[in-house]
Each structure stands twice: as structure tokens, then as C-alpha cells.
Structure 1
Amino acid sequence: MKYVPTHKRVVRGKRIHETVEERHSKLELEKRTPELSIERVEAEFLVPTIEIFVETEQVRRLKDRVKLWIKVGYPPHIVGPTGCGKTTLAMQVARELGRPTVWINGDEQMTTTDLIGGYSEMEAESVRDRFVHNVMLAKDRTKFTWVDNPLTLACKYGYTLVYNEFSRAKPEANNVLLSVLEENILELPTMFGDERYIKVHPDFTAIFTSNSIEYAGVHKPQDALLDRMVDIYMDYYDFDTEVKIVQAHTGMPLQEAKKVVKAVRILREKLPEPHKPGTRAEIMICQGLNAMDGYSKEDLEQIYMDILATKIGEPKELLKKGGLIREILSETYGDA
């Protein structure tokens, strides 16, 4: 006997079980969730992307030192001359930690609010209710919206904070870091009640970078804060490392890259600390030369002057530095 349904069956609700395809898609998404989270956070806070990172033995040793102190539990403070690669090193270490990175740049005008956040808007709400025809209930409420800034986000969720140009901020702006690094507590001075204190997430990491104290616009951080960090002093990379970095960023042929690096390094030895050109200057020179369709001796001198004759106070200094550059180019390039 065969059963023939007379009514179309209606299925209500949703399926309890997943198909094999749905299960595989879900597992794939779970694998990518940390990566997607990192991309979302870093895009929101405009974290610089390190497209090119050249790793030689010297770079690897520096990177391993930074990672060592992070593992021990002390924030590394990378100190060195401008243009030597401090920020690139810090960002590469942050990337390899595998957690979202938030970024902040120190400057003269920075305040504690720039680090922790503050109230960004006020919302006013009014209620008028005539629940009895001759009685009106009136209620006004004002609500303030708090917005977290990089330090608070990093402390709450275990992100990596890269504080670039740390020593350019005034010491009083950084006082809030004392309790974070010592007691693992972040205090939000303008908050109230139990929201005033945040327990620092165990995965929280901070990496600081600063120019040497000889540079203009640099403030000496308070000793109490420096005692809670590990200073890693970084100098310019060696000749071979700089050549590889320049080639990676510009595609300059090896022999030409060597000439540029050699010329800049000679000039570096003849100038006082704040005026020494860094690896960044070598990259800029190569980019300028690459952009020209061939160049004469005068063009070569002009490119070098444009990049290296910076931080000049008066015309007399420009003439002196120009003569020094021409002398070095003659030594490096010959009469060609």
C-alpha cells in the first residue's frame, strides 16, 4: 500500500544540523577571525604598514633583543638617531607578535587625553508623558559618550601599543603610563565609579621609540618611567645592511647603491650628531636618481644637496656643506 500525501507539508523553524559545506565554511572563518580582527583594528587607527623589511644578521640581533624584553615583561624603549630605522623595527616586531597594533605619535601638544580617550559627544534626552490627562511627567537626561584612545584600547583588549616619538611628548602627558607599567592598572581620571580603573590585559605590550636627546624638540622622560622600561640603543646599520635596505626600497643596481651609501656614510662621519643623515636620506637620493632619465655631474650634486643640505641655519652654512658634499662626491664617483 502506498501513502499519497494530500496536503503539502509545511516546515516551521530552522534546521538543527549543518551541512558539511556549511561546517567547513564556518571552520575556515574561525581560522581567519584573528587575522580579520587585526586588519580591522589597524585600519581603524591608521597603523603604518611596513611593506619592506630587510633582515640581516645585525637586524635580527636587534629584533631578538626587543622580543626578549617583551617576553620578560618589560616594554622596550628603542633610542637612536633620526632615520636609522627605529620605527620600522618596532612595527615589524609588533607584526610578528600576531596581535592587533594601535599607534600613536608623540608631540609637544600631546595630553593624557590623547592617550586614554575622553568624552566626545553629549546626548540630551527629554521625555514628556501625560499618563493622566491633567498630570504631565517630565524627565530630562544628559548622556556623555566616552571614546577610547590607543592606550586604553591596548590595555583593555591586549593589543600592542607602538608609541612613536615617545620623548617628543611632555613628561606630564605620560604620567598615566606609570601605573600601567608598574601596577598593571590604567586609571581614567575623568571617569567615575568602577569604570575609573581598568585592569591591564595580560597580553598588553608597549614598544616605545625615541630620538637621541641631542635632537631639538626632545624632552627627557621622567626617571620613574624610564626605570620601568629597557632602553635599547640603536645606531645606524652597517654598510652591507644599508646597501640591502636601499636596494630593497628603490631597486637601484648594486654598484650604484654602494656609491650612494658610501657617500652618505662619509658625510655622516664629518657632521655633529643632530645633523647626521640616516638610511632614509640614502633611500631618498636613490629615488631621486631613479626618477631622472640619466644625470650629469651637476644633476648628481643637486640631488645630493637637496637631500643632505637640510637643517641649515644661514647661507654661510649652506656653502660650507655644499663644498663638503662636492668633495665627497668627487672621492666616491671620481670625475664622471
Structure 2
Amino acid sequence: MGSDSGRKRKVRGRKIRSDRSVKERRKAEKQRRRAAKENGNSGSATSTTDASTDALHSPQSAAPEPFVSTDAVEALTTRIGRWLEADQPVHVVGPTGCGKTALALEAAAERGRPVVWIDGDQAVDTGTLVGEHAGGESYVEDDQYVSGVHKRTEVVRERWVDNPLSVAAREGATLVYNEFSRSDPLAHNVLLSVFEEGVLERPEKRGDDRKIDVHPEFRAILTSNTAEYAGVHEPQDALLDRMVGVHVDYYDAETEREIVAAHVDLPDDQIEQVVDATRALREELDVVVGTRVAITAAKGLAVFGSGNDDAIDDEVLVTVFTDVLAPKFAGREDGSDVATLEGRVADVI
């Protein structure tokens, strides 16, 4: 289902980043953060900064692994990066499984600034973004005025912990807010002053530091599925007016082959079969068939396939793709079942 030219994967420069040195740096970074957290939690009270900066990730550890950059991918990362240079929040929108998250993380890592991550869902509220009180801390002051006379005073104070948005705004990090549109839009009102005035207000915090002046290097990348997916909220217009939107769709065949090859060790001809089948099913089925489907199918074929360089048997392809896509057919209102899916997959392949 593809031409010979498609089998020649053209990778310009250092395009697939999966070398050992990167993995070692990421491992060392994780160990450093773990040690810092353990040291900070021992002994007396932990400061707000020490407790919250664990959310900061170095650019090296935040970069997706592996990451494939063809001309199409590089054009998008460059486009996002330039909008960030223009101090504009970027909203990356596209169908599920098209690589939005990896693209956002790569663009964030390329800035060379720390990265802060948050996943959106229904439970996210303003406190989840900006911070909250994390219980009280108490200690005893023991004053000895004269020998044998003590005055003991128990002091209780509230402990505040900054959450991702506050950490990123204070430290000048790049905030990557994944699945932004799955959170309640009311939680995002706090972003209006951040994007417009450069000020972050923490409603539950008291005192002079209730407001944070946003660091000049702070930037935000938000990702969302397109609006037709279940569980997606439509953001308020006032917020959309303060960001730019970059639409991402499924990549070209060459790029999808590169992405699958970076994740699964299969011969080129078999990878081409998988990608061609994925793209054909994408056109014919009324469910989302993203690049992630191709990667999962390739992982299955690495186990169920022939184990050599021969072309994969069509029956094996049908079985693997049916298994990968079966969860999308569970409980469908149109009465479609796995048997129906298998027949449709067989017709396409």
C-alpha cells in the first residue's frame, strides 16, 4: 500500500532524539528533584518556594522522548516558538492522537527555560492552578525567664503551597497546560490578568504577596482537542482574544512513518504497511484513527507478526487493527459492535 520512495526515510540532521546521553540527563534530573524534595521535607517547616518548585522541570527533562522532527514538524515548532517570542500565549488545537502534546513540550523545551506541566480535567479549579493552603504547621516556643520558670507558647501558622500557574509565573517558566479545554472555564478567569496585565492574583492567599508580578520570561502553551470530542468545554471569548491558535492535523505519510519508526523496531516495509493501513482506515471509519493508533498497532505487530522482514499478512493486520480500535466501538448508539468493526477493517485492508 505504498511506493518504494516511501520506504526511504529522509531524516535531516539529528532528527530522532533517543540517544543514551539524553536519557542519562533526564534520569539525573529526576534524581536531583527527588533528593531536593526529600531534603526539603526533613526537619522544620518548608518554605513556599521550596515546596512548590518541585513542579519545575529542566528543558532537557521536559523534552519528549523520542521526538521526530521532519520538515512538517519543524515548521510547526518554529511557528509556535515565534509566537512565544512575541510574548503571545499559544493554543494548540487538533484531533486526538495527532501529536499536540509532544509538539507543545518540544516547543517549550526549545526555549531553554524551565517547564511546568498541568493536565486539565473537570476537577481543576482556581486553587489547582494558583495554589492553596496545605494545612497548618505548629511549633512550640519555650522561653526561660529565670531558672525553673518556663513560658511555653504554641504557634500555629497556615502553610501555603503554590501550584503550577503560580510557580511558572514567578519563575519565568513555560507553562504547558495539556487538555486545557477539559477544565471548567471558570477556573481560567485567573488567566485573564496574567495574559493581559502581567499580574497573577491568588484569591485564597492573604497578605502583601496575594498578587504576583508575572516574570517577563513566563510563557504559556495550551493544548486542546477539537470541540467535537466529549468532555470538551468551549473557553470564554475574553480568554481566546488574548491568545493565538495553532491548528494541528495529522501529519503527512512520511512524518507518520518516522514517528512510528522512532517508537517501534520494525522493518521499513512493515512500518509502511502499518501507516498506509492507518491512513486508509482514517478515511473510511467514523472514529478517530490518529498516529497513536499506528504506534499501538506497530507494537502489536512486533509481537504478533512474522518476526522477519516479510510483508505482514493481511489477516494479521486486520486482527491487530480491530483490537486497537475495538474500545472506540464499545457502547456506540448506532449498534456497531466489534464484528462490524472487523468487517469494515477487513474491507479497507
* 1:203 matches 2:217: yes
Counterpart of 1:14?
none
Residue 136 to residue 277, structure 1, CA distance change in 2 (3 Å): same
Counterpart of 1:304?
321
Choose which of 290, 297, 302 in structure 2 pairs with 1:285: 297
Deviates more, 1:131-140 or 1:279-288: 131-140
CA drift of 1:321 comes to 2.1
Counterpart of 1:104?
118
CA RMSD of aligned residues (A): 2.5
Counterpart of 2:12?
none
Percent of aligned positions that are identical: 45
Counterpart of 2:145?
131
CA contact (8 A) 2:304 2:316 kept: no
Counterpart of 1:17?
none
Choose which of 79, 85, 88 in structure 2 pairs with 1:71: 85
CA contact (8 A) 2:108 2:174 kept: yes
Alpha-carbon distance in 2 for matches of 1:184, 1:206: 12
CA contact (8 A) 2:284 2:348 kept: no
CA contact (8 A) 1:39 1:100 kept: no
Instruction: Report Cα offsets for 1:92-119 as digits up to 9, x if no partner.
Output: 1111111111100000111111111111
CA contact (8 A) 1:167 1:220 kept: yes
Choose which of 242, 246, 254 in structure 2 pairs with 1:240: 254
CA contact (8 A) 1:107 1:165 kept: yes
Alpha-carbon distance in 2 for matches of 1:63, 1:112: 29
Q: Counterpart of 2:233 in 1: which secondary structure?
A: coil
Counterpart of 1:28?
none
CA drift of 1:251 comes to 2.4
Instruction: Report Cα offsets for 1:233-264 as digits up to 9, x if no partner.
Output: 11100111111111121122222111111111
Where do residues 220-231 of structure 1 align in structure 2 (5 Å cutoff)?
A: 220-231=234-245
Residue 41 to residue 173, structure 1, CA distance change in 2 (3 Å): farther
Residue 163 to residue 41, structure 1, CA distance change in 2 (3 Å): farther
Alpha-carbon distance in 1 for matches of 2:313, 2:285: 26
Alpha-carbon distance in 2 for matches of 1:154, 1:69: 18
Q: Which residue identity does 1:306 align to in structure 2?
A: D
Residue 125 to residue 66, structure 1, CA distance change in 2 (3 Å): same
Choose which of 281, 285, 305 in structure 2 pairs with 1:267: 281
Residue 129 to residue 278, structure 1, CA distance change in 2 (3 Å): same
CA drift of 1:148 comes to 1.3
CA drift of 1:86 comes to 0.3
Gaps of 5+ in 2: 1-27, 37-53, 307-311
Alpha-carbon distance in 2 for matches of 1:78, 1:185: 23
CA contact (8 A) 2:319 2:342 kept: no
CA drift of 1:296 comes to 5.7
CA contact (8 A) 2:63 2:106 kept: no
Alpha-carbon distance in 2 for matches of 1:296, 1:38: 43
Residue 249 to residue 300, structure 1, CA distance change in 2 (3 Å): same
Q: Counterpart of 1:224 in 2: which secondary structure?
A: helix
CA contact (8 A) 1:41 1:101 kept: no
Instruction: Report Cα offsets for 1:114-152 as digits up to 9, x if no partner.
Output: 111111131123446463689875644211111111111
CA drift of 1:37 comes to 8.2
Q: What TM-score does the superposition give when structure 1 sets the normalisation length?
A: 0.80
Instruction: Report Cα offsets for 1:7-62 as digits up to 9, x if no partner.
Output: xxxxxxxxxxxxxxxxxxxxxxxxxxxxx989956994477651111111111111
Deviates more, 1:249-258 or 1:189-198: 249-258
* 1:58 matches 2:72: yes
Instruction: Report Cα offsets for 1:277-300 as digits up to 9, x if no partner.
Output: 100110110111112362765443
Alpha-carbon distance in 2 for matches of 1:271, 1:124: 61
CA drift of 1:79 comes to 0.1
Q: Which residue identity does 1:290 align to in structure 2?
A: A
Q: Which residue identity does 1:77 align to in structure 2?
A: H
Deviates more, 1:298-307 or 1:103-112: 298-307
Instruction: Report Cα offsets for 1:50-76 as digits up to 9, x if no partner.
Output: 111111111111111101110111111
CA contact (8 A) 1:38 1:101 kept: no
Counterpart of 1:326?
346
Alpha-carbon distance in 2 for matches of 1:282, 1:124: 55
Counterpart of 1:186?
200
Q: What TM-score does the superposition give when structure 2 sets the normalisation length?
A: 0.77
Alpha-carbon distance in 1 for matches of 2:192, 2:275: 41
